[in-house]
Structure 1
């Protein structure tokens, strides 16, 4: 227990240092989340061994992951992404998944990438909306036309893999019972969304506003209860907890739209991006086994191949956006779409814990996802040209 205060002090110091480093001269700037991951790798047990992702540190990292998906769901404007952006996103993800499945069966058959093909295909078809959200937000692109299509594509890259995992990979009951659990969870989520819409029409958030400046903070506490409730329900129904957090965020987002919920969103924003979410990215860096990149003779080749497959699998759907995006936006869109880490980590952990994947194979997959987060958003930002907002 005596080691925890110093480790936590180091982690929160790194969280404070990351945005300061992001203010370096324009030619060297990286997204804050990338810097947090790199600093996490540096202080973790696989490099400097200054801190370990265990105990309280690991718990805070898990809380950060759920709050990250909660904030992603909160920030999605359903009114903006529905219609063409959503239909293109779903079609693009389905194309990605089919292509990833074919590729993984092929490489598994020739022995170059030895991992369960369906499990690896789901991992390759993910997009890290939780990583891209802060980047697009910091650049002022979240509400732009490009951002609208990007958020829809990334949301499909988060939600669809979670749904496939829940249906095919990790059922803890019979297929019929598990399907009934999923349907029940969806019904509960839709019912909560309907209540949220009615609350917005009745301006319930405004009625609770008088507690926002007091120690009660009732609306904030209601949001936290809702988040934990959905996470627990998802866990009990055999779904991944991040799906519960994502659904809770969308429900809160529906209830808090408009000026009445602006203060509430600011407070949730401060809890998430000011405290828990940076810890998740730092802890994710601490867990990354750097040595896995060179433990075997084929490891560097496998990581490079998987990174290339990420770009190919999630980049190919850009052909569907030829009429929606300008030519100069299409390559950055493909690179952003190929950025994946949180769900790759989750899927790898599921594979290892279920005995479907060896830990060294999982490290290779996570390594490719880690490099995608470190490299692809940086390249996309560079290709996007002049920043829309000063960093």
Structure 2
């Protein structure tokens, strides 16, 4: 690495942090999640504006592999935090209603997404692509949704509880579906046998690693290095198995002990977020944004985007609304729930980036789907304010945690 590359990399990182802070703060002032501004920062420095000239100046080609490496580390940390902050208490009460709403809000857009895949890319007969696009249509961003619900004072309401529980369960379903889609890419290869290790690794994680971490946490030792080693090791293991490293990071977050290990969880979360939120995730947004090029969009592309929005928004909304009506919510509550579950945020961006890396998406379709993720997240707040009546909130006793706004 030459001195010139070091200078270019350091300047690029400074620009990334500054852009993320400025546009994140601007989004917050406009009553939007900060992640919307940060994603837009990545898109704005990409080839969409000025034909990529700005991107070439700020992020020269010889430092982009380094930025991609940092972005992957940020993604590992993000997925670990998603697993770490998964609140199982949300699924214990009202589980029947949560399961019905979650399945309705997932299966309807998933089925429509499968059909959409055959319309948008009829020549792509890969099962992985069909499953992948269905999953991309069905996902909800649990972390950013939790922050929205907390900010709006809906955490103790029936609608807020159902939305959080359904999004949490939907996250598990979405990552499982994505794992299946990725696994089908390697069908027939000589290394396919490694996927047979999924169940043993999961069993070891919950029955061996989790108790071991809990025992070490009781010793009051500095656990950060131990957790970091395990996180990186589990991420590498799932990548080697033929899945993606995000599944190892997510799984290791899930198996982190609860209860008496609260101090451990809080300490680990604080340390990882200090680096991840300020530096690594903004780098991830920029790397993702450099692949977005909306300047070449044709009328056919606009028509495809309209179809994508119809499937993503309509499928999620209709599925959630009908499921909520089956659970005896009134029309306003059901519509509010369907609107909340259309929040996609960074979770969608993670799935889209994986699809691009694996060759499941071309750049045009990737760009359209990123735009869909931004629009669906931005529209949630204004629509919920129109639908949600604060005086009609029905409180529940279930405590709701508030994961960080991603």
- Give the TM-score normalised by structure 2: 0.75
Q: Deviations over 1:215-240 (max 9, x none)?
A: xxx32222222221221121122222
1:306 and 2:308 matched:
yes
Q: Could you say which residue in structure 2 is the equivalent of 1:205? A: 217
Q: CA deviation at 1:9?
A: 0.8
Structure 2 equivalent of residue 212 of structure 1: none
Evaluate the alpha carbon distance shift between residue 89 and residue 303 of structure 1 in structure 2; reply closer, same or farther with a 3 A threshold: farther
Check 1:78–1:106 CA distance in 2 against 1; reply closer, same or farther (3 A cut): closer
Tell me the SS of whatever aligns to 1:298: helix
Counterpart in the other structure of 2:399:
none
Counterparts in 2 of 1:312 and 1:54: CA distance versus 1, 3 Å = same
- CA deviation profile, 1:113-136 (whole Å, cap 9, x unmatched): 646433321211112224434444
- 1:247 maps to what in 2? 251
Matches of residues 126-275 of structure 1 in structure 2 within 5 Å?
126-136=139-149, 146-171=159-184, 172=186, 177=193, 179-192=195-208, 194-195=210-211, 199=214, 204-205=216-217, 207-208=219-220, 218-252=222-256, 254=258, 257-258=261-262, 261-275=265-279
Please tell me whether residue 73 in structure 1 is matched to residue 83 in structure 2: yes
Written as runs of structure 1 = structure 2, the 5 A alignment for 1:344-355 is: 344-345=348-349, 347-348=351-352
Cα pair distance change 1:320/1:219, threshold 3 Å = same
Instruction: List runs of 5+ in structure 2 lacking aligned partners.
Output: 394-401
Q: What SS does structure 1 have at the residue aligned with 2:49? A: coil
User: Is there any run of 5+ residues in structure 1 with no aligned partner, and where?
Assistant: 210-217
Q: Distance in 1 between matches of 2:194 and 2:220?
A: 38
Cα shift at 1:256: 6.4
Q: Look up the SS of the partner of 1:291 in the other structure.
A: coil
Give 1:14's match in structure 2, choosing from 19, 23, 27. 19
- How has the CA–CA distance of structure 1 residues 353 and 6 changed in structure 2, closer, same or farther, with 3 Å as cutoff? closer
Change (3 A) 1:234 1:306: same
